[in-house]
Amino acid sequence: MMQRLMLASLLIGAAEGEGSETPVPTAGIAAEVEKGVAAYNAQDLKHYEATLAPEAVYIADDGATFVGRERVVGLFSRLFAATPHRQMAVSDVVTGGKGDIAWTRFKWTITRGETSRKGICSVLFTRAGEGWQALQIQNTPDGHAMPAAHH
């Protein structure tokens, strides 16, 4: 809980422009997204074991919440075991960050056999040594478009 409060205050401070933290190079965060997508498509659990923070939280597009790296990796293990295998494609990747905190938001399409679904994902990262670890991943289904205006 204390770590989340500290993280929230860091984010609020970053949003308000406090501190002299250096901006995070966005290419590094975009590369994390690319590696994550490649690992997803290759069903590479080892990637997620290494890049999820121990206290990582994954919020699925149906609202199910998985707390802790082991539970998230367990979920991915079950997803990866299903056939046909899921494949993910992403677009509209936006990144940012400051100091030891970074974030990304992107659109995704997951295809499994003849079916596919679309959504939007946001990921909050924290610096871990020379790299990054995902603290929170949240997916939202696409399709909440505003109805067309009637004249």
Cβ-proximal residues to 83 (8 Å cutoff; 6+ apart), any chain: none
The tokens describing 86, both together, are 């899921």
Residue 104's identity, in one-letter code, is T
Domain count of the fold of the chain: 1
Look up the domain containing 123 and give its range: 23-141
Looking at residues 104-128, what average pLDDT do you find?
Answer: 95
Residue 96's identity, in one-letter code, is G
The pTM assigned to this predicted structure is 0.79
Q: Which residue would you say has higher pLDDT here, 64 or 13?
A: 64
CATH number at residue 29: 3.10.450.50
User: What string of H, E and C letters represents the secondary structure of the chain?
Assistant: CHHHHHHHHHHHHHHCCCCCCCECCHHHHHHHHHHHHHHHHCCCHHHHHHHEEEEEEEECCCCCEEECHHHHHHHHHHHHHCCCCEEEEEEEEEEEEECCEEEEEEEEEEEECCEEEEEEEEEEEEEECCEEEEEEEEEEECCCCCCCCCC
Per-residue pLDDT reduced to its tens digit, 69-115: 999 999 999 999 999 999 999 999 999 999 899 999 999 999 999 99
Per-residue pLDDT reduced to its tens digit, 5-55: 444 444 444 444 444 467 766 778 999 999 999 999 999 999 999 999 999
* Any domain includes 150: no
* Any domain includes 12: no
* Any domain includes 146: no
* Any domain includes 8: no
Dist. CA 132–CA 142, nearest whole Å = 27
For residue 2, pLDDT over 70 is answered with no
* Any domain includes 63: yes
